[in-house]
Structure 1
Amino acid sequence: MAKFKRGQSGNPAGKPRGARSRFTKMREKLEADLPDLLDATKQAALDGDMTAMRLLLERTLPPQKATAATVNIPALEKASGLTEKAGVVLAAVGRGELPPDVGASLVDGLTRMAKLKELDDIEQRLLALEERQQ
């Protein structure tokens, strides 16, 4: 595979340095009229043009990602095992103290912890077996 010399273009007839794309040129032309265009789009939306409204809202107010509030479940700290902790979370969801999506996330986290704990146990057993073999 041929390599180009340092500082020498592989396509000397290509786009020159500093050249602006057609999209950049269009943006620059619209930039001066942008406040008027936004006002016209806003007015169209206020007059009932749903396309203008959707465009305005999608571009200026994108949907926010859901963020859950911090929860405090005192019984969770007292629960001894991961299964009991999952039961406490599900009970809190059942009583309406915790939104279902947050409860599902917590139970999912507990499930992942159980898998990690299982891997740790397997690793410890394997090390113990290897020590006995020596």
Structure 2
Amino acid sequence: MRDRKDNRSRKLRRGLPQGSRHKATIAAQALLDGEGEALTRKCVEMALDGDTTALRLCLERLCPPRKDSPVKITLPKVETSADLSQASGAILEAVAKGELTPGEGQALAGLVEAHRRAVETTELEARITALEKENKK
């Protein structure tokens, strides 16, 4: 970004350099150095004794929450660009019925869009090849 008064470039970075740590973070890490195993053992003991917060922490480490999961939806076979509207319609219908979440529907629609581009490119390539063959005759 340029300074308006004299039209010179200026740095906009403020604070600590990228990748450096805050003093409080460094101090906390110094206190915890060498104590990780004991703290982990204590957390597991507390979880086994019924501390729900400790139990949640242990479970999140053992089995982190899934970000994506497979969706079960039947889409029509898409071989031409004419078939794509049926696939989009099936996704919309599944979202409307509650079979898919809106986020899952959006992700699937993105996949259908990528497939549309691939189908469209293939169809255009075939048309161009046919036109080139006609011109050579």
TM-score normalised by length of structure 1: 0.51
Deviation of the 1:37 alpha carbon: 5.1
Deviation of the 1:122 alpha carbon: 1.4
- The structure that has the greater radius of gyration is 1
Deviation of the 1:100 alpha carbon: 2.0
Q: Is the 1:92–1:98 contact (alpha carbons within 8 Å) kept by the matching residues of 2? A: yes
Q: Is the 1:93–1:103 contact (alpha carbons within 8 Å) kept by the matching residues of 2? A: yes
Superposed CA offset, 1:10-67 (max 9, x none)? xxxxxxxxxxxxxxxxxxx98xxx5x6543233456686x6x6776455333333321
Give the secondary-structure state (helix, strand or coil) at the position aligned to 1:89.
helix
Q: Is the 1:86–1:107 contact (alpha carbons within 8 Å) kept by the matching residues of 2? A: yes
Q: Pick from 61, 64, 73: which aligns with 2:63?
A: 61
Instruction: State the distance in 1 between where 2:92 and 2:100 align.
Output: 9
Q: Pick from 93, 99, 102: which aligns with 2:101?
A: 99
TM-score normalised by length of structure 2: 0.50
Instruction: State the distance in 2 between where 1:83 and 1:58 align.
Output: 41
What amino acid is aligned across from residue 127 of structure 2 in structure 1? Answer: R
Matches within 5 A, 1:27-38: 34=37, 38=40
Deviation of the 1:97 alpha carbon: 2.7
Matched residue count: 98
Please name the residue that 1:120 is paired with. 122
Q: CA RMSD in A?
A: 3.6
Q: Is the 1:68–1:102 contact (alpha carbons within 8 Å) kept by the matching residues of 2? A: no
| Residue range with higher mean Cα deviation, 97-106 or 86-95 | 97-106
What amino acid is aligned across from residue 64 of structure 1 in structure 2? Answer: R
